[in-house]
Each structure stands twice: as C-alpha cells, then as structure tokens.
Structure 1
Amino acid sequence: MRTELAELALALFVERGYEDTTVEDIAAAAGLSKRSFFRYFPSKEDVLFGDVEDLADRVADAVRARPAGEEPWAVLHAVLREWEARIHAAQWDMAALRLIESTPALRARLHQRRDGMRDRISTALRERPGTGLDTFTADLLTACAAAAIDAATREWLRHDGTDDRGELVDRAFTMLAPGP
C-alpha cells in the first residue's frame, strides 16, 4: 500500500504541482482518510523520501563490509557505484527527480535526508577496522562522494536518462579522487 500511495502521490504532484497537492487530495484519490494516510507516511514529503533511512543503513552496512585495507575513497566509490542505481530505482524515477529538483521544499528535504545519510556513511567509514580516519577526513570524503553522486544524477537528468549512470558515477569519482 505504501508503494501504491507513493506512486499515486507522485502522479498528483506531477499533474498538479507539489505545493498544490494536499494530503487530503492524495488520501481521497487513494480512497483513504487523511488519518489513514498518516499511518503510512508521517508527512507529505515522506511520500517521496520515506525509505531513505533504511537505505542509508544498508549503504552504511555495505561500507563496513568492504575488505579491510581498502582505501576509504575506493570503498565509497565501490559501494556508492553499486547502490546508486538501487537508491534511485527504489524511489525516484525521472519524474520524481525533476519534481524534487524544481520544488524548493522538496530539494530542502532531500538535502536534509542526505545529511543524515552522509552522517551514517561517514560513521561507517570511520568504524572500518584499521582505517584510523578522523571525523573531519571521513566527513570530507563522504561529502565529496555525495557531490559525485549529485553531479552524476544532474548530468543524467540533463540527458533525459540516456547516459549510463554507472559511467557517470565512475567519471565523477575519478575526477574527485584524492591525490597521493
């Protein structure tokens, strides 16, 4: 039901605009009460971002599971290359990404959620055995990795989803790779 409700809400957001679509509109279109809507999602924004925390935990677990001795930047590249498609496929298609990019409230919420995700990933990077990373370095590497993913996503959108997302991620990580 959560998935169906999210798809219905996205269709309404695209058709009417995010600001002009109310929780009441979404609930009515789904044949639910407003109260029932809030059983599935705590807010209107969460229709688009509801699974981000779960994904963040799974990505952080993947960071922790990488081989000991692997350089932190290589860890982030490998994990985010693998998860990038899953993160966007799980929730955001082209219409949703364009909606988020064009709606200030949604962009702000996305950045808030990404901050939480970066914190979890940064912590996981520091917790890897033998890394000895300080908080500043882990945060900086994680922020750079997020910038790489963001740039790859924006480029993908500019080309209407025709570019290979994985290649864009690889290109961004290569360009931002820390020097020796």
Structure 2
Amino acid sequence: MREDPRPGRPRASSRETLAEAACELFLEQGYESTSVADITQRAGVSRSSFFNYFSSKSDVLWSGLDTRIDAATVALETLGADADPAAVRAILLTLVHDFAPDPLALALRNASAMGLEEELVRDTGLRSARLAAGVADAARRSGIAPIPSDIVGAAHAAAVLSSLRVWAERGAGHGTPAALVEEALGSIHDLPW
C-alpha cells in the first residue's frame, strides 16, 4: 500500500518560498520593519521551518553566497604551498560561476527601497573579511610575506564583492558577474600576484 506524501509545501521549495516572501516584504515594508514572523506568515510555513533554512533574517539574503565562500575557502586551503595567481583566481571565479539573480542580487539592486544600505555595508564587510582571510592565508602558504598577503587578500575579496554589487545594480542583460570579476581581478596591479 502506497502512503500519500505529507501535506504542505515540498521541503525542497520551502527555502525558495521563504526567500521570495522575505524579499517581497523587504520591498513592501522595508528590512527593519519585517520580522521573521511576517516572513513565515507570508510563506505559509512555521517559524521553526524558517530556522531550518536560515539562522537570521539577514541570512535569507546571504546564504547562497556564504555557501560559495565556504567552498572557495576550502579550495584555497587545499592549494597549500602550490598557491599561485592563476589557481587563486580560478577559485575566486567559481564564486560567481552560474550566479543567477537571487535574494542577494535583488537586495543589492534595491537596497534603498528595501532599507538595506547599512545592513549591506556591514554584511558585505563580513563576507569580504572571510574571503580576504582565505586568499591571504593562501598567499602566506605560498611564501608571500604577511603584509603583502593581507593586501592581496583584501584586493581580491574587494574585486569579487564589488563585481557582484555592480552586476546586481546594472540588472539583467548587462553582462555576467564572472566577466566583471575577471575584469576586476585583471585591474589589480603592483601586487605579488
């Protein structure tokens, strides 16, 4: 005898449903005025369902990129002493490969309407610091001194995050984030890499 599936939204779509509901509400009433309860009510799921997918309201925007940064950091660690400019840049390009419009892109494009300017500056800084540390560690493992390593890390992280912001602000049909990252990385001069 076949059992009927459990009622409710399929598990795979709950994350997307929550993100869509959150973005709608951020546009309608602003980020600060939107609560987790508002998001779950709009999405038609429980509060516990929200926290199965996201650790905070801000995580709705950043979780996709955070996953990519985590993977890039692991890949940078595996380079060991073999880290070189080409390998590091290839890893950084994986951060934006097939990057589709998502809640973060929507937030970057509509930061003012959503009331997210300060939130995005703070949260971008956190992601930049994580990515910069990963690149700087790779540079140090390859033999570059600490201060130039930190500078290389910061420059590469800024290139990636700035490119994502510019891509999102331009909107659909104006190039890819990968093309912007390649251009930004190519503009880093007079550094060891």
Same fold, judged at TM 0.5 (above): yes
1:83 lines up with 2:109 in the alignment: no
Indicate how the Cα distance of structure 1 residues 137 and 22 shifts in structure 2: closer, same or farther if over 3 A, else same. Answer: same
**Identity value in percent:** 31
Asked if 1:95 is matched to 2:109, the reply is no
Deviation of residue 93 (structure 1)? 5.7
Q: How does 1:13-28 map to 2 (within 5 A)?
A: 13-28=26-41
- Asked if the contact 1:57–1:120 (Cα under 8 Å) also holds between the matched residues in 2, the reply is no
Residue 127 of structure 2 corresponds to residue 116 of structure 1 = no
Aligned to 1:45, the other structure's residue is in SS state helix
Asked if 1 retains the 8 angstrom alpha-carbon contact of 2:54 and 2:63, the reply is yes
Shift of 1:28: 0.8
Q: Distance in 1 between matches of 2:105 and 2:62?
A: 15
What letter corresponds to residue 16 of structure 2 in structure 1?
Answer: T
**1:136-174 alpha-carbon deviations (Å, 9 max, x no partner):** 222211110122223323432453241233332222222
CA spacing shift, 1:43–1:154, aligned 2, 3 Å: closer
Using a 3 Å threshold, how does the CA distance of structure 1 residues 98 and 176 change in structure 2: closer, same or farther?
Answer: same
Question: Which amino acid is the alignment partner of residue 115 of structure 1?
Answer: A
Task: Tell me: CA distance 1:145–1:168, structure 2 relative to 1, closer, same or farther (3 Å).
Answer: same
Q: CA RMSD in A?
A: 3.0
Give the 3-state SS of the residue equivalent to 2:96 in structure 1. helix
Query: Is 1:167–2:179 an aligned residue pair?
Result: yes
* Number of equivalent positions: 175
Q: C-alpha offsets along residues 109-158 of structure 1, whole Å, 9 cap, x if unaligned? A: 2322332233234334434xxx1133322221111012222332343245
Unaligned runs of 5+ in 1: none
Compared with structure 1, are the counterparts of its residues 13 and 37 closer, same or farther at alpha carbon in structure 2 (3 Å cutoff)?
same
In the alignment, is the contact (CA less than 8 A) between 1:13 and 1:21 conserved in 2? yes
Q: Identify the residue that residue 15 of structure 2 maps to in structure 1.
A: 2
Tell me: CA distance 1:26–1:55, structure 2 relative to 1, closer, same or farther (3 Å). Answer: same
Query: Which residue number in structure 1 is paired with residue 161 of structure 2?
Result: 150
> What TM-score do you get using the length of structure 1 for normalisation?
0.76
- Helix, strand or coil at the partner of 1:84: coil
Q: Residue 119 of structure 2 is aligned with which of 105, 114, 121?
A: 105
* Cα distance, 1:29 vs structure 2: 1.2
